[in-house]
Amino acid sequence: MVPTGPSIHEVLGPWSEATTSLSNFTAAVDPAPIASFPAGFGYLSANLTNVVSDWVQFPSSNFGVQIRDTLPASHLIWSSEASLTNRPKLDVCYTICQ
């Protein structure tokens, strides 16, 4: 599916929240989306089980994810500076193996 709305991509290299902006972000990002969504409005949900599982097995590979949009300014995506109710969040549900 060719994304027409936002898509989520795995970041493959280090970056710093303190010094990174849209204009200077240079970390490698996987071009294949983990999830993509149609254009439109509303809250979105994606299953990131595979990438989070890799992070658990190989913590040094956890550089996060990037939310991209194909059309500039067509969606509102709040950052960690936004109010609590509008922040993106990641819920991780897991089972402890015995």
The token pair at 42 is 């509303």
Distance CA 11, CA 79 (A): 16
| pLDDT tens digits for range 59-93 | 999 999 988 877 665 556 666 666 777 666 777 77
Distance CA 40, CA 23 (A): 26
Residue 72: CB atoms within 10 Å = 6
At 46, the pLDDT band (50, 70, 90 cuts) reads confident
pLDDT given for residue 62 in this prediction: 94
Q: What are phi and psi of 32, to 5 degrees?
A: -80, 125
* Torsional class of 64: left (φ above 0), alpha (ψ -120 to 50), beta (otherwise): left
The residue assigned the tokens 């204009």 is: 23
Decide if 61 contacts 54 (C-beta within 8 A).
yes
